[in-house]
Structures are given as C-alpha cells and as structure tokens.
C-alpha cells in the first residue's frame, strides 16, 4: 500500500505466535509460516522476537543467487525465489545477514516473507501486522508511528563493516541513527557457563 511502511519492534513481542498462525493461512504457502520467530536466551528469559523479511534495498540474497531467481520489484518488495529458476542451493539462506530465507525441502525452493504481496498489492495490510496484538509487527503510516512511539524507526544496519539499508524499519532507541550488529558480540565465549553439560 502506498504510504505505509512496516515496523518491527521486538521489544513488544509477547510470544503469542499469532503472526505465525496468520502467516500460515496464506493460500500460496498454506501450512508454512514465513515469520522468523526466535526465543532470546530461552534458558533465562521469556523474551521472544518475531521478524519478517527486511526487504533490503540491495538484497544480499538476490545478489548471491546463482540462478538469478530472486527479484526485487519496483515497489521494493523482494520476492520469494522464482520456482522455475531456484536450484535449492541455499546460497541465499547462508548469505542473508538477517537469516530470513527458508529453504523449503519438499518444494526445493527458497521461500520467505514477501510482505503478503497478494494483499499489499491490493490495498490490504500483511497478515502478521493485522493480527499482532502488541504492535511488534506494525504496518502503518510513518506519521502514526512518529506520533505513537517513543522509539525511532531506523532502516540502516551495520553488520561489521557492511552497511545495509532496508525497506522495513526496526524500532531503535531514540538517539540512534542506525543499528550495528556484530556477529562476534553474539557468540559465546569459550568459558561461558552455558557450555556446561549436566
């Protein structure tokens, strides 16, 4: 829809998984949800986060696809791989910095969130944003978000030295212009207690 943007706020996620259920109901991939749902530090907390595809401006998945199967449309949506072309090599699965694409085994095709293209191209909102009770996944106009949220939406991410701009926004602390995500920060140290068994 024109004028609407997608906003992800993981801090609002309550783990109800309505988005997963709603996404599954899409006719084109019934039974398979395209939402990436994570539990954060499940051993210690109940924090959960739900993500959709960020639809990057220069999608890494599309750039590494050897079969030219992933396309970004004029409206900015990065689509699932084209079935006639996808060779199920999982290059995109490995390449995406956000870890979004899923390789569907029986179909041998990469599928991922396409912003409910059949809905958004017809003036409706994506399923997940429609059902999310807490507003963790939100499809709204930027003015509404600026008016109702304390956080600032950002669509600039740094992965190490790689700068990525996206179509989907993530809510970040108000003083931040971008989010920097370094894989090393999230890797466990050798002497981490979580490695202990029994």
Partner 1 sequence: MFGLRRPSASSSKEPLWREEFSIFTADERYVGRRQMTKFLTLTSLSMFAGNLWLLGRAAFSKDRPAYPAVKVATAGEIPVGGVKLFQYDNDQCILVRTGETSYAAYSQKCTHLSCAVYYAKEKNRLECPCHEGYFSILDGSVLQGPPTRPLPKVTLEQRGSDLVAVGMTGGAEPGT
Partner 2 sequence: MKAPDTPLQGRGLTAMDGVITLIIILLIVQMWLLSATLAAYLAGHRSAVVPAAFVSGLIFVGCAALYGFVERIDRNARR
Residues near partner 1 (CB under 8 A) are 57-60, 62-63, 65, 68, 70-74, 159, 161-165
Residue 57 in contact with partner 2, rule: CB under 8 A: yes
Cβ neighbours around 174 below 10 Å, total: 9
Size of the site for partner 2 (CB under 8 A): 7
Distance CA(145)–CA(115), nearest Å, equals 19
Q: Residues with Cβ < 8 Å from 85, sequence gap 6 or more?
A: 67, 68, 69
Identify what 11 binds: partner 2, partner 1, none; CB under 5 to 8 Å per kind: none
163's contact among partner 1, partner 2, none, with CB below 5 to 8 A by partner kind, is partner 1
Burial of 1 (0-12, 13-18, 19+ CB in 10 A): middle
Q: How far is the CB of 161 from partner 1 (least distance, A)?
A: 7
| Residue 45 interacting entry, from partner 1, partner 2, none, C-beta within 5 to 8 Å by type | none
User: Please, what is the minimum distance in Å from the beta carbon of residue 34 to partner 2?
Assistant: 20
| Block residue for tokens 């930027």 | 142
Report CA torsion sign: 148, 149, 152, 153: negative
Question: Contacting partner 2 (CB under 8 A), which of 15, 17, 20, 76?
Answer: 76
70 binds, among partner 1, partner 2, none (CB under 5 to 8 A by kind): partner 1
Cα 23 off chain centre by:
13
Does 74 engage in binding with partner 2 (CB under 8 A)? yes
């Amino acid at each position: 829809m024109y004028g609407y943007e997608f906003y992800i706020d993981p801090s609002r996620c309550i783990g109800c998984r309505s988005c997963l259920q709603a996404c599954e109901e899409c006719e084109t991939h019934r039974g398979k949800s395209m939402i990436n749902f994570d539990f954060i530090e499940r051993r210690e907390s109940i924090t959960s986060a739900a993500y959709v595809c960020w639809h990057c401006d220069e999608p890494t998945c599309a750039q590494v696809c050897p079969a030219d199967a992933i396309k970004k449309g004029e409206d900015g949506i990065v689509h699932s791989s084209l079935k006639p072309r996808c060779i199920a090599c999982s290059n995109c699965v490995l390449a995406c910095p956000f870890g979004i694409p899923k390789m569907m085994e029986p179909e041998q095709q990469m599928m991922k969130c396409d912003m409910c293209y059949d809905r958004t191209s017809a003036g409706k909102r994506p399923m997940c944003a429609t059902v999310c009770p807490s507003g963790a996944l939100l499809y709204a106009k930027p003015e509404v978000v600026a008016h109702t949220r304390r956080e600032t939406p950002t669509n600039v991410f740094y992965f190490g030295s790689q700068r990525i701009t996206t179509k989907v926004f993530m809510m970040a602390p108000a003083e931040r212009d971008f989010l920097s995500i370094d894989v090393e920060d999230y890797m466990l140290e050798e002497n981490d207690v979580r490695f202990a068994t029994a």
